[in-house]
Amino acid sequence: MRKLMNALLSSFTHTHTGLDYEKQKRVITILTCICNHTQTRKTYLEYKFFKKHCLALLMYIRPPEYKYMQQLVPDSIAWTEGVGGPKQKYLAQVDKITKATEAIYIMQKNLLILLLTNTDGDELAPSSRKIFISKLRRYVMDLSMEQRPFHSFFLMQSSIMHPMESTVALAFICILIDAAKTLFERELPAAQLEIKPDYFFDGTFEYQHFDRVGGVLSHLRKVHRSDISTHLGPERAHELLEEDRTMMRVGELVDPSMFLTTTNLNNIGIVGAQGPAATFTHFFNPRLNPEPNASPGNSDAESSLSELFDICVLYYYSVGHKYIVKISSVRDEIAALNEVLRETKFYREDVERKLKVLEDHASVCMNDNHSNIVADLKQKFSQRENVFAKRSIELARKQAWYRALALGKQRRMIIVWLLEKTLRTLNASSHLGALFSFVPEVYINILPILLDTVMDFSHHDLHVQFEITDAECAVNAAAEFLSLHSADARIILASCKDSLLQALGTLTCHKAGIRALERSPKKSQSALVRSLLRPYENRAWGQSNWLLLRFWLGDGYAYRDSRQPSIWQGGNQPIQMGLCRSRAKNETHTGLLHHIAPANPSRHFQKLIGQKLQEDEPFATAFLNSVLSQLNWAFSEFILLLQEIQNTAHRQENAVFEPKQLKICSMCFELTVSLMRCLEMVITVAPEIFQEPSRSNSDLILNRVCQLISQVLSRVTVPPGCFQFIVDMCSSDLNSVTHFPIISAALGILLALLRSEIDTDRNPQKVTRITRALLTDPSFQFANLEFALGEIKTPILQQAEIPRGNFDPQTRAHIDPLTNDVRVAVPSTSSKRIRADPPIIKFALSDYPTHVTPEEIDEVRRLIEMLRLKQSLLSDITLPSEDSLCPICCAKPITVIFTPCKHQSCSNCIMQHLMNSKVCFYCKTLIKTIETNEGTVIYNNNEYTSAPTFYEI
């Protein structure tokens, strides 16, 4: 029987030359006839189908030979948007492939359903379904361990010795899901498909090395023992706890030196161990049965199909999805080639047109040499077009198979069904309260993968937006669940928290996803807004900030495209492009955090964010304080790295910089810009926070914002310094560090702050508190704003005359930029002062017509004019002397004294510091009161009893 199966498998997997698939159909027919015999079916399930991927290979339809594909889709029929060609004929060939494979697909599916027969069990033998599910779970667990080589080697030796091809894995999982769907509809037509949450904590399903969303299983059983007793009864709860107690701990019983052996751990015996636990594989994993023996009898239809669906989720998460990413890579490459071909065609036609004009007007001057040059130029263009067109045609031929079978419409709908039922299962588990913690991590971690497949990867033509009307219900359900659980306290595992944010990122990258979030219940929307606005401390705030900016992209100042503009890009229309994702080298899914997606601003969520910040003042203060603190830290680190790079470049000729250092520098810059854009959005949607003086922390926050923006502009504009030096370097590793993103973000903040004054106050008669806060900041200069227009008219203060404040590492070497705590200063190793060179690459907003409109440039001019008028009304602007400056910010004068230690600073610095700590900057003494120079108490610490010593703190 084994030889017969090997012969059939060899015949089935043989590459064929056409689309008849007669040989493959005969093999499936023979196997179906053989498996109609009960004992033969069970024998194959027990000993053959799950060895060396036998069953998976039988479910995979190989594409024809390349020569036949060339005949099926010749160059004259191959179609892409760049090459052109007869699209309808191309799609007709795709339909031909689909129809040719329909019959064999139905035969494969029927074979799989036959193997899941549930009526052949008796008192002595299990049914085929029991054997199938038992073997399949072990098979999938082994495959998942292959994805964790370190974990697999030391803890769980896999029984699979041959790697799984991603093409085979995708074919097998799709037909397996389709068979499960058919069986559900046939055996449980009236039931809603979802896995009973009890299966996750009653020991029915085994997940081995997969954790639960709430942590480790044994710990969860102890913590939630009372809840388990309520649902399962005290006896079953006690049995589960006893099972955990009897499990041996590897770290207590095993000598670590045994890991140095080169012998397969499966072959090492344990002295004194009896039965199946006599090898280290089972010793390390007491729950793992190397040879699972299914119990006699037939399976319960509901529990067996639920377990089959559960295994499908595990399979798709572990290996099933990987080929989909490669399929989408072909689409992305075709889209890139389309852009190149369109560009080549444009330049060729442009050159030919100009040459034609030249020939018409200078025919008497044209000689043979000129004619040869023109002919050679035309030939070069043709060669360039031919190279890219040939590659496009090859990819279009490959994509024809993907469109027809590998990821056609049928498989797409199968994956949509999997997403719907996964979300239904999660929602049912969430209703159990604390027991939701027992949900396996796979069910959360699979969500961004499934959403990416449904909303992006399964589309074969790259568009700015994809139509997903066929998956609207699934996307709506995903939006509701992800919003409600975005900050669920029951989800402890870091990978699951990250997956929730990545899945939300997938939704926000698509217009349909944004609209689904806007249609979700108010409770879910409120939960999402609150989770995104939590203080940026002790959590992955970079991802939350990225999600907030997805709601804002398209409405900010010069913020219509998340891609960096290029000064060398011609025209005034941005290049339209779909999602541009950064993938790992092995083409695995890497999430959406660094993806570049089209703008889909959500006025609805902007309104909700503004309402939340205006209604809850303490919440808004904590959020803004964290944003400003992180902005302070990010830009300080960025400037420090720029100075180090500049110093190294001046000390050494042809200096080579560490890629890690450049990457960190670029990351700090991007974080700075993203935080500034977040601040711009907050000021726009919740202006009352800054405009209403009655709010307790309004003045403090307003002064901090004005100070930060003034100092950022003074650092990146004029006089030229380390930032201009890095821009002039034109380093490929620092290509994101340019003037445009940071200056446009800073201008967006200023325009948002002063919007009402610019629009309504045409003839100002008084200076508002916002304008006063900006104009009186020592770092503010009109030249910094004029720099954006490329026309500096105002005299520039010398470098020494500009108080650099929080962002100058030289003057603040003793101050921690994030906490404002005093630290030991780092002495400078060089006393040589670097003199700035004249800028090479100059900046002006008008150089970027694809990202800035003339109206936006005019707004900057009106801003400068309005501020000049307001400045003329100020008569009390006096710069403080250097001795009277606050030693913390080096910008404001000293105005307050701390008791009992008598140290001093400006009121802004100490009030900001008190949001995070109640001890003195310098001596760490607990602060009792804060008094002004006139003796007025502006802060009283009610928790103060007596000043503790430094060591007590």
Query: Which string of DSSP letters, residue by residue, matches 571-589?
Result: SSSPPP---B----TT---
Q: Supply the angle between the helices 617-651 and 659-685 in degrees, to the nearest 10.
A: 150
Residues 765, 696: contact at Cβ < 8 Å?
no
Q: List % helix, strand, coil for the chain (3-state, nearest 5).
A: 60, 5, 35
What distance in Å separates the CA atoms of residue 143 and residue 160, rounded to the nearest whole number?
A: 7
Q: Is the pLDDT assigned to residue 594 strictly greater than 60?
A: no
pLDDT at 413: 95
Question: What's the half-sphere exposure (Cβ side, CA atoms, 13 Å) at 581?
Answer: 25
- φ, ψ for residue 104, nearest 5 deg: -70, -30
Which of the given ranges, 377-386, 675-684, 813-822, 841-850, has the highest pLDDT on average?
675-684
Helix (H) or strand (E) holding 513: helix 511-519
Please enumerate in sequence order all residues whose Cβ is within 8 A of that of 166, keeping only pairs 6 or more positions apart, or say none. 319, 322, 323, 326
pLDDT at 525: 96
pLDDT at 288: 45
What distance in Å separates the CA atoms of residue 450 and residue 416, rounded to the nearest whole number?
A: 8
pLDDT band for position 453 (cuts 50, 70, 90): very high
Q: Is the pLDDT assigned to residue 252 strictly greater than 50?
A: no
- Mean pLDDT, residues 233-262 taken together: 60
Q: Is the pLDDT assigned to residue 826 strictly greater than 50?
A: no
Q: Is the pLDDT assigned to residue 789 strictly greater than 90?
A: yes
* Tens digits of residue pLDDT in 365-376: 556 677 777 777
Using alpha carbons, list the distances in angstroms from residue 299 to 131, 201, 287, 304, 320: 10, 20, 21, 6, 26
pLDDT at 832: 44
What distance in Å separates the CA atoms of residue 932 and residue 771, rounded to the nearest whole number?
A: 24
- Mean pLDDT, residues 47-56 taken together: 91
Which of the given ranges, 183-192, 675-684, 731-740, has the highest pLDDT on average?
675-684
* Tens digits of residue pLDDT in 623-641: 999 999 999 999 999 999 9
pTM value? 0.84
Q: Is the pLDDT assigned to residue 947 strictly greater than 70?
A: no
pLDDT band for position 579 (cuts 50, 70, 90): low
- Mean pLDDT, residues 156-162 taken together: 51
pLDDT at 385: 81
Q: Is 946 strand, coil or helix?
A: coil
Name the token pair of 246: 């009897």
More confident residue, 108 or 350: 108
Q: Is 811 strand, coil or helix?
A: coil
More confident residue, 574 or 321: 321
Q: Supply the angle between the helices 603-615 and 659-685 in degrees, to the nearest 10.
A: 80
Give the burial string for 715-743 (b: 16+ CB within 10 Å, else e).
bbbbebbbbbbbbebeeeebeebbbbbbb
Expressed in angstroms, the distance from the first to the final Cα of the chain is 78
Q: For all residues of the chain together, what is the average pLDDT? A: 82
Using alpha carbons, list the distances in angstroms from residue 9 to 30, 52, 570: 11, 11, 58
Domains within the chain, CATH numbers bracketed = 1-78+86-152+160-251+300-320 (no CATH), 617-798+814-823+840-876 (no CATH), 884-940 (3.30.40.10)
Closest C-alpha among 660, 656, 770 to residue 707: 770
pLDDT at 880: 59
pLDDT at 280: 41
pLDDT at 94: 94
- Of 226-230, 266-270, 726-730, 856-860, the one with minimum mean pLDDT is 266-270
